C-alpha cells in the first residue's frame, strides 16, 4: 500500500504528475503554481520522467503547445494560476472545442487589479463556461487524488475533454499536510496506457484540426459539446468507484457533511469547507442540526443530485470566494439553478468571503450559521448578498 507523507499541495500534485509521466508538458511559472511545475521540471532533469518539457514565453503559448501536443496524440498536462489562466483564455476554448483531454491543475489565485497573488476562486470561476471539466479539491490529498482521476475522466473515449483540478493558492498549495501517496505502479495501472483519438502524428491517415466552421454548422458543434458534458457525471462516478478500490478513499460529485437531517446548511468550495465542518460539529454539539455540501464536480454541475441532497434543508448559505460585481456570486447562481429542481426550496443567502486570500475563520462560519438559525426561525431573509470578514 501507499506511503504516508507530510507535503504541500503543490508537492503532492507534482508527485501525481511524476507518477503519471505525461508525454508532453508545457508550462509557464506563475505564483502560487510556480513551485509545482518547478518540482516537476526537476523530475524531468533528474530523469524521473520522460516527459518532453516545453519552455514557453507565456501561458497563452503554454496552452497552445499543449493543444498541439494533444492533437498530435500525446498525454499532456500543464498547470497555472489566476492571471495565467486568464491569459490562456482564448486557447481554453480551443482545447475543449477540439476535444483534447489535457489535464491542468489550477492553483486558485485572485485576479488583478489591485495586484494580489493569494487564494481566491475568481480565476477558475471565470473559466467555468470554457467547456473544461472542473474538479475542486479541499486539501492536498484531494488535489493529488483528483489529479490522478482527472486523466481517466478526460481521456475516457466517450468524453475526450480537458480537465481543471482546482486547489486553493497558498492555503493548500504551500501548506504542509499529512497525506497518502499511492505506489507508482498502482497509479500507472490506474491511469493506464494513453489511447489517442484521431492523432495528427498518424501520418498514414492525414487529417485537419481547427477548421473554419461558419453559421451553417457552428451551432451543431456547440450542441454536441453540451451533450458530451451530460455524460461526464457517470464517468466521474465510475472512475471514483475504481479509485476507491485501490485507495479506500470515496469520492462523488460532491461531498456532504452531516447533511442528511440538517435544517440549516452551508455550500462551500475547497479549503474553507474544512474550517466550516469544525464549526458545524460545534453547532451539532449544541443540538443545532447543521450540515454542509462541498461541490467537487463544478462543471458539468450536478443540479438534480445537489437538489436531492438539500431538499429537506430550511435555510441555506452559499459561500463564494469569488464575486460577480453587480450580481450574485457564481456558486450561489448555480444553487439558484438547483432550486429550480425543487418544489419547495430552502431560504437562500449568499456570502462573499476570503477574496484575495483573506482568511476564512471559524467565527465567520459561526456568524453564517447563527444567521441561518435566525432565518429558519423567522422564515425571513434580510439581505441576499453580503460580504463577510470585510471592514466597514
Q: Which stretch binds another protein (CB under 8 A): 96-104, 230-238, 239-247, 312-320?
A: 96-104
Q: Is 207 in the site for another protein (CB under 8 A)?
A: yes
315 CB-near residues (< 8 Å, 6+ apart): 263, 264, 265, 346, 347, 348, 349, 372, 373, 375, 376
Q: Is 98 in the site for another protein (CB under 8 A)?
A: yes
Euclidean distance between CA atoms 111 and 223, whole angstroms: 31
Pick from 83, 278, 315, 99: which is nearest to 197 by CA? 99
Nearer to another protein, 18 or 160 (CB): 160
Q: Is 197 in the site for another protein (CB under 8 A)?
A: yes
Among 46, 57, 193, 227, the residue binding another protein under the rule CB under 8 A is 227
- Contacts of another protein in 155-174 (CB under 8 A): 160
Dihedral sign of CA atoms 96, 250, 82, 59 in order: negative
Q: Which stretch binds another protein (CB under 8 A): 162-170, 188-196, 204-212, 235-243?
A: 204-212
Counting other chains too, the contacts that 355-359 makes at CB distance below 8 Å and 24 or more residues apart are 355/110, 355/120, 355/122, 355/321, 355/322, 355/323, 356/110, 356/116, 356/118, 356/120, 357/110, 357/116, 357/117, 357/118, 357/119, 357/120, 357/169, 357/170, 357/171, 358/389, 358/390, 359/389
CB of residue 77 vs another protein: minimum separation in angstroms? Answer: 19
Q: Is 205 in the site for another protein (CB under 8 A)?
A: yes
Q: Is 215 in the site for another protein (CB under 8 A)?
A: no
CB of residue 24 vs another protein: minimum separation in angstroms? Answer: 18
Q: Is 211 in the site for another protein (CB under 8 A)?
A: yes
Q: Which stretch binds another protein (CB under 8 A): 111-119, 224-232, 325-333, 383-391?
A: 224-232
Q: Is 216 in the site for another protein (CB under 8 A)?
A: yes
Q: Is 229 in the site for another protein (CB under 8 A)?
A: no
Q: Is 224 in the site for another protein (CB under 8 A)?
A: yes
Nearer to another protein, 12 or 67 (CB): 67
- Contacts of another protein in 360-389 (CB under 8 A): none
CA distances for 258 relative to 175, 279, 374, angstroms: 27, 12, 20
Pick from 133, 140, 134: which is nearest to 121 by CA? 134
Q: Is 201 in the site for another protein (CB under 8 A)?
A: no
Q: Is 189 in the site for another protein (CB under 8 A)?
A: no
Q: Which stretch binds another protein (CB under 8 A): 167-175, 213-221, 274-282, 320-328?
A: 213-221
Q: What is the DSSP letter of 117?
A: -
Q: Is 391 in the site for another protein (CB under 8 A)?
A: no
Nearer to another protein, 159 or 355 (CB): 159
Q: Which stretch binds another protein (CB under 8 A): 94-102, 333-341, 366-374, 376-384?
A: 94-102
Q: Is 90 in the site for another protein (CB under 8 A)?
A: no
Q: Are 254 and 344 in contact (CB under 8 A)?
A: no
Euclidean distance between CA atoms 343 and 162, whole angstroms: 35
Q: Which stretch binds another protein (CB under 8 A): 98-106, 110-118, 247-255, 276-284?
A: 98-106
- Contacts of another protein in 100-159 (CB under 8 A): 100
Nearer to another protein, 57 or 216 (CB): 216
Dihedral sign of CA atoms 244, 48, 84, 63 in order: negative
Q: Which residues of 57-80 are buried (b: 16+ CB within 10 A; e: fewer)?
A: eebbbbbbbbbbbbbbbbbbbbbb
CB of residue 199 vs another protein: minimum separation in angstroms? Answer: 10
Among 42, 112, 198, 378, the residue binding another protein under the rule CB under 8 A is 198
Phi, psi of 391 (to 5 degrees): -80, 145
- Name the strands in the sheet holding 52-55, side by side, starting at the edge strand that comes first in the sequence: 52-55, 24-27, 76-77, 103-108, 163-168, 133-136, 297-299
Q: What angle do CA 196, 197, 198 make, to 5 degrees?
A: 120
Instruction: Give contact residues for another protein (rule: CB under 8 A).
Output: 97-100, 160, 197-198, 205-211, 213, 216-217, 219-221, 223-224, 227-228
Amino acid at each position: 500500500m501507499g506511503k504516508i507523507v507530510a507535503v504541500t499541495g503543490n508537492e503532492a500534485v507534482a508527485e501525481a504528475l511524476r507518477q503519471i509521466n505525461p508525454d508532453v508538458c508545457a508550462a509557464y511559472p506563475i505564483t502560487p503554481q510556480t513551485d509545482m511545475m518547478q518540482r516537476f521540471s526537476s523530475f524531468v532533469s533528474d530523469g524521473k520522467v520522460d516527459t518532453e518539457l516545453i519552455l514557453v514565453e507565456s501561458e497563452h503559448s503554454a496552452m497552445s503547445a499543449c493543444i498541439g501536443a494533444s492533437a498530435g496524440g500525446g498525454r499532456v498536462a500543464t498547470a497555472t494560476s489566476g492571471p495565467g489562466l486568464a491569459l490562456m483564455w482564448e486557447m481554453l476554448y480551443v482545447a475543449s472545442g477540439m476535444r483534447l483531454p489535457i489535464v491542468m491543475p489550477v492553483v486558485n489565485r485572485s485576479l488583478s487589479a489591485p495586484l494580489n497573488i493569494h487564494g481566491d476562486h475568481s480565476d477558475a470561476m471565470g473559466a467555468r463556461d470554457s467547456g473544461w471539466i472542473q474538479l475542486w479539491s479541499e486539501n492536498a490529498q484531494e488535489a493529488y487524488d483528483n489529479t490522478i482521476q482527472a486523466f481517466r475522466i478526460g481521456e475516457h473515449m466517450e468524453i475526450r475533454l480537458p480537465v481543471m483540478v482546482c486547489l486553493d493558492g497558498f492555503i493548500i498549495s504551500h501548506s504542509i499536510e499529512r497525506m497518502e501517496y499511492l505506489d507508482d505502479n498502482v497509479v500507472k495501472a490506474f491511469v493506464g496506457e494513453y489511447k489517442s483519438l484521431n492523432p495528427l502524428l498518424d501520418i498514414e491517415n492525414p487529417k485537419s484540426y481547427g477548421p473554419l466552421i461558419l453559421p451553417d454548422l457552428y451551432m451543431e458543434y456547440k450542441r454536441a459539446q453540451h451533450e458530451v458534458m451530460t455524460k461526464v457525471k457517470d464517468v466521474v462516478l465510475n472512475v471514483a468507484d475504481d479509485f476507491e478500490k485501490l485507495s479506500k478513499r470515496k469520492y462523488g460529485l460532491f461531498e456532504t457533511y452531516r447533511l442528511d437531517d440538517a435544517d440549516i446548511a452551508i455550500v462551500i468550495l475547497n479549503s474553507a469547507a474544512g474550517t466550516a465542518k469544525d464549526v458545524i460539529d460545534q453547532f451539532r454539539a449544541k443540538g443545532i442540526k447543521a450540515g454542509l455540501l462541498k461541490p467537487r464536480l463544478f462543471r458539468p454541475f450536478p443540479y438534480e443530485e445537489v437538489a436531492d441532497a438539500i431538499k429537506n434543508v430550511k435555510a441555506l448559505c452559499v459561500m463564494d470566494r469569488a464575486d460577480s460585481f453587480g450580481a450574485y456570486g457564481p456558486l450561489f447562481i448555480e444553487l439558484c439553478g438547483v432550486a429550480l429542481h425543487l418544489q419547495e426550496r430552502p431560504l437562500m443567502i449568499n456570502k462573499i468571503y476570503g477574496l484575495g486570500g483573506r482568511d476564512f475563520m471559524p467565527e465567520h462560519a459561526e456568524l453564517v450559521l447563527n444567521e441561518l438559525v435566525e432565518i429558519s426561525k423567522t422564515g425571513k431573509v434580510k439581505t441576499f448578498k453580503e460580504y463577510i470578514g470585510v471592514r466597514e
